[in-house]
């Protein structure tokens, strides 16, 4: 679980909250704390900043009170010792404990766009409003609305049965259209199609496709566990962390993700 401490520099109390949170990371092993500096009124409005310090766990305010105004101001907490500029260590501990129980309970959430309940893993939050979470399907729809293109290549395969078996083992869904054509999807999302071409053999076939996935390492583990011939995951000079595997017809499927700044190879 990820806690974000939002603060501004002139606030005399955020460092106390920061030190409480640092201490609590030893009690909550899966707690990761980051800080977000809010420096302008405009940023405060954009982030729905309820004052400094504010702590959000997985995007949800730990101490939300409906009457707290948005703005670049100090935040007042009601503590057992009276009003204070920071919640106490005990209050933070209790709030984290109950919120983390809640997080585990609700591994599914409603998409803010289509309203369907989705797995958290298939939802992404907006950069400017992390309480707005959009599912994969709606992101695809938005991409089209924004004029983006959606590409599905056709990979040539000489043996459709062998290809079907290979891609199912790799975790894709394969749906035959007829003897010579099949759709390969992942969670209802089109990835590529397969078309019969008897010339497609490992020695002659140079076709392939590139799958960009934030879960590159999980993909690798899964494919290796399925006994498929995946190469090592490596940082490449073109800025990707990737690996590849070849299907029985010689198509090279590369799976990778962009190397972030300071990413370890
Ligand atoms: Zn949706």
Paired tokens of 129: 């409003």
CA dihedral 79, 80, 83, 85 (to 10 degrees): -40
Q: For residue 265, what pLDDT is reported? A: 44
Q: For residue 260, what pLDDT is reported? A: 76
CA of 206 to the centre of ligand 1 (A): 37
CA of 18 to the centre of ligand 1 (A): 35
CA of 72 to the centre of ligand 1 (A): 33
CA–CA gap between residue 218 and residue 221 (Å, rounded): 5
Domains of the chain: 2-106 (3.40.30.10), 109-145 (no CATH), 154-258 (3.10.180.10)
Question: Contact at 8 Å (CB) between 210 and 192?
Answer: no
CA of 119 to the centre of ligand 1 (A): 11
- Write out pLDDT tens, residues 143-168: 889 999 888 999 999 999 999 999 99
What is the per-residue DSSP string for 215-231? THHHHHHHHHHTT--PP
CA of 115 to the centre of ligand 1 (A): 6
The answer, as to whether pTM is greater than 0.75, is no
Which of 178 and 65 is assigned the larger pLDDT? 178
Give 192: exposed, middle or buried? Use CB within 10 Å, 0-12, 13-18, 19+: buried
CA of 185 to the centre of ligand 1 (A): 18
pLDDT band, very low/low/confident/very high, at 261 (cuts 50, 70, 90): low
């Amino acid at each position: 679980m990820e806690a974000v401490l939002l603060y501004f520099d002139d606030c005399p109390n955020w460092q106390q909250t920061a030190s409480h949170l640092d201490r609590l990371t030893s009690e909550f092993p899966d707690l990761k704390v980051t800080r977000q500096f809010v420096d302008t009124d405009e940023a405060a409005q954009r982030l729905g900043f309820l004052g400094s310090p504010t702590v959000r766990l997985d995007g949800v305010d730990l101490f939300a009170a409906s009457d707290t105004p948005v703005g670049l101001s100090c935040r007042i907490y009601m503590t057992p010792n009276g009003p204070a500029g920071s919640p106490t260590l005990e209050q933070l501990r209790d709030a984290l404990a109950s919120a983390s129980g809640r997080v585990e309970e609700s591994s599914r959430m409603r998409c803010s766009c289509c309203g369907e309940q989705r797995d958290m893993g298939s939802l992404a939050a907006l950069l400017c409003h992390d309480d707005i979470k959009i599912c994969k399907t709606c992101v695809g729809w938005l991409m089209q609305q924004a004029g983006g293109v959606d590409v599905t290549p056709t990979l040539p395969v000489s043996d459709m049965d062998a290809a079907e078996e290979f891609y199912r083992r790799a975790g894709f869904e394969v749906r035959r259209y007829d003897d010579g054509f099949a759709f390969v999807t992942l969670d209802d999302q089109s990835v590529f199609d397969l078309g019969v071409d008897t010339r497609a053999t490992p020695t002659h076939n140079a076709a392939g496709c590139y799958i960009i996935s934030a879960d590159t390492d999980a993909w690798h583990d899964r494919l290796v566990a399925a006994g498929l011939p995946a190469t090592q995951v490596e940082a490449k000079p073109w800025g990707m962390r990737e690996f590849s595997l070849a299907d029985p017809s010689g198509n090279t499927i590369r799976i990778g993700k962009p190397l972030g700044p300071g990413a370890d190879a």
